[in-house]
Amino acid sequence: QVPLEESGGGLVQAGGSLRLSCESVTRPFIRNAMGWFRQAPGKERQFVAALSKNGVAYYADSVQGRFIISGLNTTSTVYLQMNNLRPEDTAVYYCAEKWGAVAGVRSSDYDDWGQGIQVTVSA
């Protein structure tokens, strides 16, 4: 069983918006540090955004000012609001959960992963 479930991906035109959601299947009411990563074809997985348990958010430079990560303290659900999307944002987006309170920016910081969801931005 995949421990995290992502939803909300799809196809959008450049300049448009999408909101991704992620929820823990195994611990839906426990809020840990959560992160979003993405992987484009032929490229390595890269950090996008992360949210610590205390609400502190971290962003990659490439999405700062366009993406917003948020979550509720009472559930595991975390959102990634993506605005002003660009073709270079096209990738498979992965949700990740760290069994701890402080988020990290490396893939190795995280313990559980979703199966990924496709986001495609057309020019």
Digit-coded pLDDT (tens) for 103-120: 999 999 999 999 999 999
Beta bridge partners of 95: 36
Distances (CA, A) of 48 to 1, 15, 28, 74: 25, 18, 22, 23
Structural contact between residues 82 and 65, judged by C-beta atoms closer than 8 angstroms: no
User: How far is Cα 14 from Cα 37, in angstroms, rounded to an integer?
Assistant: 20
User: How far is Cα 98 from Cα 57, in angstroms, rounded to an integer?
Assistant: 14
Amino acid 30: pLDDT: 77
Gyration radius of the chain over CA positions: 13
pLDDT tens digits along 9-22: 999 999 999 999 99
